[in-house]
Structure 1
Amino acid sequence: MEKKTFTISVYSENNVGLLNRISGIFLKRHINIESLNVSESEIENVFRFVIVVHTTENWVKRIVGQLEKQIDVIRAFYHVDKETIYQESAIFKISSDLFFDEGQIETIIKDSNSSIVSVSRDFFVIAKTGRRSEIQELYDELQPFGIMQFVRSGRISVSKPQMKISSLLQEFQTITH
Structure 2
Amino acid sequence: MTRQEYNITAYTENQVGLLNRIAILFSRRKINIESLNTSPSEIEGIHRFNMVVEETEEVVRKIARQMEKQVEVLKVYFNPNEDVIWQEMALYKVPTDVIAERAVVERLLREHGARVVVIRKDYTVFETTGHREETNKLLAVLHPYGLIEFVRSARIAIIKGSEGFHGKLREFERQEPSEEPSENEFLNRRDKVFTM
Instruction: Give the structure, 1 or 2, with the largest relative contact order (CA under 8 Å, sep 6 or more).
Output: 1
Question: Does the residue aligned with 1:113 lie in a helix, a strand or coil?
Answer: coil
Q: 1:140 is matched by which residue type in structure 2?
A: A
CA contact 1:10–1:76 (8 Å) conserved in 2: yes
CA contact 1:44–1:173 (8 Å) conserved in 2: no
- 169 and 151 in structure 1: CA distance in 2 versus 1, 3 angstrom threshold: farther
| Displacement of 1:165 | 2.2
Alignment of 1:116-131 (within 5 A): 116-131=116-131
Q: 1:84 is matched by which residue type in structure 2?
A: V
Q: Which residue of 1 aligns with 2:73?
A: 73
The percentage of counterpart residues that share the same residue type is: 39
**In 1, distance between residues paired with 2:51 and 2:12?**
13
| Displacement of 1:10 | 0.5
Q: Which residue of 2 aligns with 1:85?
A: 85
Once the two structures are superposed, residues 20-54 of structure 1 have per-residue CA deviations (whole angstroms, 9 ceiling, x without a partner) of: 01111110011100000000000000000000000
TM-score normalized by structure 1?
Answer: 0.94
- 83 and 141 in structure 1: CA distance in 2 versus 1, 3 angstrom threshold: same
Q: Which residue of 2 aligns with 1:27?
A: 27
Q: Which residue of 1 aligns with 2:95?
A: 95
| Displacement of 1:97 | 1.2
Once the two structures are superposed, residues 142-171 of structure 1 have per-residue CA deviations (whole angstroms, 9 ceiling, x without a partner) of: 111121111100000101112462234347
**In 2, distance between residues paired with 1:78 and 1:143?**
36
In our comparison, the structure showing a higher alpha carbon Rg is 2
Q: Which residue of 1 aligns with 2:44?
A: 44
Question: Does the residue aligned with 2:157 lie in a helix, a strand or coil?
Answer: strand
**In 2, distance between residues paired with 1:108 and 1:115?**
11
Q: 1:68 is matched by which residue type in structure 2?
A: E
**In 1, distance between residues paired with 2:154 and 2:138?**
17
Q: Which residue of 2 aligns with 1:59?
A: 59
Structure 2: segments with no counterpart, 5+ residues: 175-196
Name the count of aligned residue pairs: 174
Q: 1:65 is matched by which residue type in structure 2?
A: R
Once the two structures are superposed, residues 120-155 of structure 1 have per-residue CA deviations (whole angstroms, 9 ceiling, x without a partner) of: 101000000011110011101111112111110000
**In 1, distance between residues paired with 2:113 and 2:160?**
25
- 164 and 89 in structure 1: CA distance in 2 versus 1, 3 angstrom threshold: closer
CA contact 1:94–1:149 (8 Å) conserved in 2: yes
**In 2, distance between residues paired with 1:168 and 1:85?**
20
Question: Does the residue aligned with 2:44 lie in a helix, a strand or coil?
Answer: coil
CA contact 1:43–1:169 (8 Å) conserved in 2: no
TM-score normalized by structure 2?
Answer: 0.85
- 164 and 110 in structure 1: CA distance in 2 versus 1, 3 angstrom threshold: closer
Q: 2:96 is matched by which residue type in structure 1?
A: S
70-79 or 96-105, larger mean C-alpha shift: 96-105
